[in-house]
Amino acid sequence: MAGYNQIVYLRPLITRANIEVGEYTYYDDPEHAKEFEHRNVLYHFDFAGDRLIIGKFCALATDVKFIMSSANHAMDGFSTYPFNIFGGGWEEGFDFDALKAGYRDTIVGNDVWIGRDAWIMPGVTIGNGAIIGTRALVTKDVAPYSIVGGNPARTIRQRFDDTTIEALEQIAWWDWPPEKIGRNIRAIRGGDIRLLAEAV
């Protein structure tokens, strides 16, 4: 981005097929902005089959981390030690497919703001318009237009009333063409749902 070397649009930088990022989503990092998929998406292996899907117009602050499903260890036996990855016969009897069956995609909606040092755990879905506080540990799904924070993260409040949230989800301004967004920036940035609805 012009004048902001530490901020990058993520979509053009993603090379892995198991990561999808929507247009205009950016990552802000003064030292490693272009290394997002390698430094910020952890335990993400192709063989596991889970995906990281991030929507459009998201703002990700420095050191946001996504922990993916392969970080999970089998917990149904007496030991959680991953004997199977070391071979030498230790992999016998390990049912990776059963473990993998519980893996879910990690999904971030559109227009989500994730604060610095937040950690998003495997299989979480974050709804459109949500705000994740600095250093939050997100272990469960986050409702659209909710503000969450803490460790583990809990809902602090909704950003808007239920009727407004429902309208915002239906309007889905992030799917508009760039020209239409440009013409309606005031309505999108403003707090008047009627004005935004008229732009539809």
Q: In whole angstroms, what is the distance from residue 75 CA to residue 27 CA?
A: 34
DSSP structure class, residue 142: B
- How far lies 15's CA from each of 10, 18, 52, 106, in Å? 10, 9, 13, 18
CA atoms of 13 and 34, how far apart (whole Å): 7
The residue type found at 189 is: R
**38 included as an active-site residue:** no
> What DSSP state is assigned to residue 194?
H
Active-site entry in 32, 38, 44, 73 = 73
Backbone angles phi, psi at 183, to 5 degrees: -70, -20
* Identity at 105, one-letter amino acid code: D
Query: Which amino acids are annotated catalytic?
Result: 73
